[in-house]
Structure 1
Amino acid sequence: MLDGCVPWPEDVAAKYRAAGYWRGEPLGMLLGRWAEQYGEREALVGADGCSRVTYRALDRWCDRLAAGFAARGIGAGERVLVQLPNTPEFVAVCFALFRLGALPVFALPAHRAAEVGHLLELSGAVAHILPGTGTGYDHVAAAVEARARRARPVQVFVAGEAPAVLPEGFTALADVDGDPVAPADVDASDVAFFLLSGGTTALPKLIPRTHDDYAYQCRVTAGICGLDADSVYLAVLPAEFNFPFGCPGILGTLHAGGRVVFALSPQPEECFALIEREHVTFTSVIPTIVHLWLAAAAQGHGRDLGSLQLLQVGSAKLHEELAARIGPELGVRLQQVFGMAEGLLTFTRDDDPADVVLRTQGRPVSEADEIRVADPDGRPVPRGETGELLTRGPYTLRGYYRAPEHNARAFTEDGFYRSGDLVRLTADGQLVVEGRIKDVVIRGGDKVSATEVEGHLGAHPDVQQAAVVAMPDPVWGEKVCAYIVPAPGRPAPPMAALRRLLRARGLADYKLPDRVEVVDAFPLTGLNKVDKKALAADIAAKTAPTRPTTAGHGPTTDGDTAGGGGSAGGVTAAGGGREEAA
């Protein structure tokens, strides 16, 4: 395996091969097989509807791109930073690199100079493929700056509409072409590409995914979702994200002979139009997008969404009140998804009872997935109790790339990955996510799960979305601050009303908001998740000693005093901490 990566133990790998999970099929080879099977069926459709690529044409395109990259010195084992929007070029570039044995390193279009520079250095990339004009950000200028700071400049390829004059060392992707050459001899047990960690650290770590493990992940999830040649997938989230790339997403749809349609924005105006035009049958989104789509549905969007059968929701906790609205208001079947770029995926199933779909995140997609729910000392907790999720399996990594010190904390001696997620298992084995170890407010020694409080706040009819963060306090250490986005056309509820609601729903006083901030919208990360770091920084600035201690807008106390109470104990858990949910 590539130096800097941690392989599965030989006996474990042999077991996965014997069971048929790993079939020794490099990803680049799979596209050729799909082209033979599905021929002139449409494989990819751009957001504009003009870019339409058949399976056979995609196979030829990838062959010629691979030859063009090879002519420019990109070969087996070399890393290439791929930072592209949701377009057919993204798929073509990835498979061209797979055929060379080169390794895509996924970067989000939202990443800027700091993240790009970090990823170039960490990965040792020899090339960078980025978008041209029309994205609202000058990626070319940023690449010039990043390139100038490197001792060894990288080649840069510009996709889409490139500037009329490119800087030295930059090439338009459209000019990368050549007569097909024999593909590299790729070992399917080796690394195919790198996903990014995200969320809990300032800069992402690299997650190596092998040909074997990712091909298996795509096959098994496509089977659970019942994909076939009539399936039409709408890629809403950034394609470099694990959820839309292979859960089953883009690759699972291609495996089944279906069609992938790309959206450039998660906004309902664009996505609903694409669903209507392309007869989309399923898509995958996060709760933030669900809020947007439900608001549009309530206002009357005027689009025919009748083709949409399945809505996968994951990447963050989907609270029951929001989950219950999806079927009636969008007319689709909900599938809850929990997962991580590092590996483990759990899905609810089509035949699950309604309460399982609404209240749980399902069960593992593979019978070979192993799960432990552990206390802070790593001991299993009784079923039904909350603890940290530890996992290992045929598509869960054994170590981050070039991160030996972190790996020593993030993995047990027997290879279980410490996810940092707080979960419990129901009596029938369904997983329920209760929050993150680090997404906790420690209020005078009592530990308050932000996820729990957010779910209850969302039950108020005047609250569209809630996010809870820690607010610094000289006496309590931290207090509970709730950021609220009011429901469209509704006034923000006063804090006293919110506290009464939470008490009525059985929450202890120490979990109630000490302060409420009302905002029009939440700041989002590059993955369209709520950016809690930004919210925490905002409230820290507002409550700093030199600043007023009452909210600049929205209610704060409203005559209702905060409760302390509770024990000074509470449960915490140690470990590496999962970096990104699927």
Structure 2
Amino acid sequence: MQDIRHPIEGVIYHPAERAASYLDSGAWMRSSVGDALRATARRLPGKTAFISDEGSLSFQELDEQSERLGAALLEAGLAPGDRAIFQMGTTLETVLALAACYKAGIVPVCSLPQHRELEIGQLIRQSAARGYFVQADFHPSFDLAAFARKMAEGSDTLRHLVVARGPAGEGGLSLRDLIAGMPLAAARRRLAEAPPGLGDVLSFQLSGGTTGMPKIIPRFHAEYLGHALACAGMYKLREDDRFMWALPLLHNAAQVYVLIPVFAMGVSAVLMPRLDLVRMLELIEEHRVTRAVSIGPIAPQLMTYPDLARHDLSALRLFITMSRADRLEAHLGVPCSNLFGITEGLLLGSPPDAPAARRFQTQGCSGCPQDELRLLEPDSEKPVAPGQMGELCFRGPSTLPGFFNAPEANAQAYTSDGFYRTGDMMTAHVVDGVTCYAFEGRLRDNINRGGEKIGCEEVEGLVGAHPAVAEARLVAMPDPVYGEKGCIYIVPRPGQTAPQVKELADFLVAQGLAKYKCPERVEVIDAFPVTKVGKLDKPALKRMIAEKLAGETGAQDQDPGQGSPA
């Protein structure tokens, strides 16, 4: 039984027979996320669920306050199945808002406080969002609540603005006032009237696509619970574990590694609103944190931090990172392992007691026995030979059944027998009888800047609108902290001078692009390199900037007073 109580037009649901088999096998949980949280709160009412420098929430407080907020949102006019934009940071209020939406059947849309007109406008239109949650104090020089009102004025669907950590203002609803104004008993009655079913949509996540139009990935209650708990089992997560999290809470990684294990297992989490490496290490020591994750700049910053020895990290059982776990483990003296995750429904990793070859030289394996993985030759359905690199393709209980309202994308995303094409190149390695996968690179044209994906086509199109630019191509350049940053190669118009980094960023932000997507280096070129068949050779551009950066680094090592070009 799929148990879809609030269907959303445009969502592709898992077929009923397949859903039933996943529930019977235990790959999906027979629970909604809200019910899982309620059960944990009954079992562990006084245990601390979330900790921050501003306070904490016990499981009872988290459950009761999210009940009251969820019911208040329904009373205010939102309905199960409605979508809601989120521009909130890593705070206790964000946790409450997410839990409330999950219980009420309101579908959060993964977005960031850093997103601006371009991204938010697209997400509102694509998702037909009716709700909008903002954190008023996220940035001292940018009024997110005013920005949300402006976006609502241009929308045919947005009706409800919820403001946290600041005045609600005209037409807005205060998150704290909504909680305070809803009695707990009344809230529980209201939420019981039309709760989400096991097969209902839990959230709208986003693909790390290559263009300016991200594809929406629906995730479902029972499916997402099973997905996160299978991953937790693979990592041998225990109820007495305590996570450190300093990255966005709306991302898939936060949901599967932290939020769902807290809600469903009773583990605890320490939240940081912004990454401060020294404070993070102090919190690990103070709260005896046992698990930490680096998806982005955390691990590289740790590698260069000179005062690591003054911090007590003895409670840490595992530090998970995207790559180079061997170097991090040698530096920290803590078990480390590489990871791989894709929002379309696959997580790979290794527990702390796995062999070093598995933890260091691969991204691990899936924790779900029903997941099937293949390595195929690109643009074909032919498996690669053993030991050869191929495109990772997978299908299983949490594999995306289809992007939201995107028939063209869906037609290209799968093999003929339903394996999702990741665009990621991998090699397979058998370690102590377990087949694990090592990440080798990407087929798709995007940049992974500290875990945030930047679609090159989106940025190139906007740069091309600059009056001094004839053509522009964006490529990834290596960066020691973020892994990759964007380098834009520009062919200037005749008689024009290519814009410098700051001028170009000001131009792009004025067009509504999020600042983190702006190129961080400009290279002027007379013509782009091409392949033998006359197509743009982006790998050549990547090699050119990598070699140039390496040469500049070498020159600086020889002459510390020499600066690199702007």
Aligned equivalents of 2:554, 2:244: Cα separation in 1: 45
Deviation, 1:132, is 0.6
- 2:297 aligned counterpart, secondary structure: helix
Which of 389, 394, 408 aligns to 1:386? It is 389
Q: Which amino acid aligns with 2:265?
A: A
* Per-residue deviation, residues 348-376 of structure 1 (Å, max 9, x unmatched): 23332212211101111111001111112
Compute the RMSD of aligned alpha carbons: 3.4
Query: How far apart are residue 300 of structure 1 and its match?
Result: 4.3
| AA in 2 matched with 1:267 | D
* Aligned residues of 1:63 and 1:96 also touching (Cα < 8 A): yes
Decide whether the 8 Å contact of 1:273 with 1:303 is kept in 2. yes
What is the CA–CA distance in structure 1 between the aligned matches of 2:422 and 2:33, rounded to whole Å? 27
Cα drift, residue 438 of structure 1: 2.7
CA contact (8 A) 1:79 1:125 kept: yes
2:153 maps to which residue?
148
What is the CA distance between 1:553 and its match in structure 2?
Answer: 8.9
**1:189 aligned residue (180, 199, 204):** 199
* Structure 1 match to 2:253: 243
Cα deviation for residue 228 of structure 1 reads 2.6
Q: Deviations over 1:14-57 (max 9, x none)?
A: 221221222331111111101111111111112x1x42111111
Correspondence for 2:537: none
Out of 217, 227, 230, the residue aligned to residue 207 of structure 1 is 217
1:62 corresponding residue in structure 2: 66
* CA separation of 1:284 and 1:482: change in aligned 2, threshold 3 A: closer
Partner of 1:284: 293
The 1:145–1:235 alpha-carbon spacing in structure 2 relative to 1, beyond 3 Å, is same
Task: Determine helix, strand or coil for the equivalent of 1:40.
Answer: coil
Q: Identity across aligned pairs (percent)? A: 29
For 1:543, the equivalent position in structure 2 comes to 525
Shift of 1:544: 4.7
Decide whether aligned partners of structure 1 residues 335 and 278 sit closer, same or farther in structure 2, where only a CA change above 3 A counts. same
Q: Match of 1:430, SS?
A: strand
Change in Cα spacing, 1:483 to 1:19, as seen in structure 2 (3 Å) is closer
Aligned to 1:399: 402
Task: Flag the 1:478–1:57 CA change in 2: closer, same or farther, 3 A.
Answer: closer
Q: Partner residue of 1:342?
A: 344
Q: TM-score, normalised by structure 1?
A: 0.74
Is 1:436 the equivalent of 2:442? yes
TM-score relative to the length of structure 2: 0.76
Aligned to 1:304: 312
Give the counterpart of 2:279 among 270, 274, 277: 270
The alignment partner of 2:94 has SS state of helix
The equivalent of 2:172 in structure 1 is 170
Q: CA deviation at 1:411?
A: 1.7
SS for the counterpart of 1:388 is strand
Q: 2:408 corresponds to which letter in structure 1?
A: E
Matched residue type, 1:534: P
The residue identity in structure 1 corresponding to 2:21 is: K
CA contact under 8 A between 2:301 and 2:481: conserved in structure 1?
no
Q: Partner of 1:23 in structure 2?
A: 29
Is the Cα–Cα contact under 8 Å of residues 297 and 481 in structure 2 kept in the other structure?
A: no
Partner of 1:33: 39
2:81 aligns with 77
Match of 1:12 among 15, 18, 25: 18
Alignment deviations for residues 144-202 of structure 1 (CA, whole Å, 9 cap, x no partner): 22112113443111111x14xx4432122111131213422322112111112225222
Which of 281, 298, 302 is matched with 1:293 structurally?
A: 302
Residue 119 (structure 1) aligned with residue 123 (structure 2) = yes
Give the C-alpha shift of residue 255 in structure 1: 2.5
Give 1:452-467 correspondences, 5 Å limit.
Answer: none
Q: Which runs of 5+ in 2 are unaligned?
A: 1-6, 449-455, 461-471, 483-500, 506-514, 529-543, 556-566
Worse-superposed segment, 11-20 or 370-379: 11-20
Residue 375 of structure 2 is matched in structure 1 by 373
**Take 1:208 and 1:272, find their aligned partners in 2: how far apart are those partners?**
35
The amino acid of 1:246's aligned partner reads V
1:52 equivalent in alignment to 2:56: yes
Mapped to 2, the partners of 1:16 and 1:41 lie a distance apart of: 32
Distance in 2 (alpha carbons) for counterparts of 1:200 and 1:246? 23
The whole-number CA distance in structure 2 between the counterparts of 1:192 and 1:557 is: 47
CA contact (8 A) 2:84 2:108 kept: yes
Q: Which amino acid aligns with 1:112?
A: R
Q: Call closer, same or farther: CA 1:205–1:479 in 2, change over 3 Å.
A: closer
Shift of the alpha carbon at 1:203? 3.3
Q: Is the 8 A contact 2:244 2:291 kept in 1?
A: yes
Displacement of 1:139: 0.9
- Structure 1 residue 134: Cα displacement: 4.5
Alpha-carbon separation, structure 2, partners of 1:479 and 1:85: 29
Distance in 1 (CA, whole Å) between partners of 2:208 and 2:481 is 28
Higher fraction of helix: 2
Partner of 1:499: none
Query: Quick check: 2:326–2:336 contact (8 Å CA) kept in 1?
Result: no
The 1:51/1:371 distance shift into structure 2, 3 A limit, reads same
Shift in CA distance, 53/404, structure 1 to aligned 2, threshold 3 Å? same
The separation in 1 between residues aligned to 2:116 and 2:279, in whole angstroms, is: 25
1:2 matched to 2:8? The reply is yes
Residue matched to 1:42: 48
Q: Measured at CA, do residues 191 and 357 of structure 1 come closer, stay the same or move farther in structure 2, by a change above 3 Å?
A: same
> CA contact under 8 A between 2:134 and 2:164: conserved in structure 1?
yes
Cα separation, partners in 2 of 1:107 and 1:479, compared to 1, 3 Å: closer
Contact 1:8 1:398 in 2 (8 A): yes
Contact 1:222 1:253 in 2 (8 A): no
Measured against aligned partners, the alpha-carbon deviations of 1:76-110 in whole angstroms (never above 9, x if no partner) come to 11111122111111221122112222211121122
Q: Rate the CA distance shift 1:484–1:420 in 2: closer, same or farther, 3 A.
A: closer
2:238 aligned to which of 228, 236, 247: 228
Return closer, same or farther for 1:553/1:92 CA change in 2, 3 Å cut-off.
closer
Partner of 2:268: 259
The Cα shift of 1:254 comes to: 3.5
Q: Partners in 2 of 1:102 and 1:558 — Cα distance?
A: 53
**Cα distance, 1:394 vs structure 2:** 0.5
Distance 1:481 1:289, change over 3 A: closer
Does the 8 Å contact 1:232/1:281 carry over to 2? yes
SS at match of 1:364: coil
1:273 is paired with a residue whose SS is: helix
Return the offset for 1:301: 6.6
Shift, 1:62, TM fit:
0.9
CA distance in 1, matches of 2:475, 2:94: 42
Q: Which secondary structure does the structure 2 equivalent of 1:203 belong to?
A: coil
Q: Aligned partner of 2:333: which letter? A: G
The aligned runs of 1:99-110 (5 Å cut-off) are 99-110=103-114
In structure 1, distance between residues paired with 2:552 and 2:61: 60
Unaligned segments of structure 1, at least 5 residues: 441-449, 452-468, 488-518, 524-529, 560-582
Q: In 2, are the aligned partners of 1:310 and 1:335 still within 8 Å (CA)? A: yes
Contact kept in structure 2, 1:231 and 1:253, CA below 8 Å: no
CA contact (8 A) 1:345 1:364 kept: yes
Tell me the number of residue pairs that the alignment of Structure 1 and Structure 2 aligns: 472
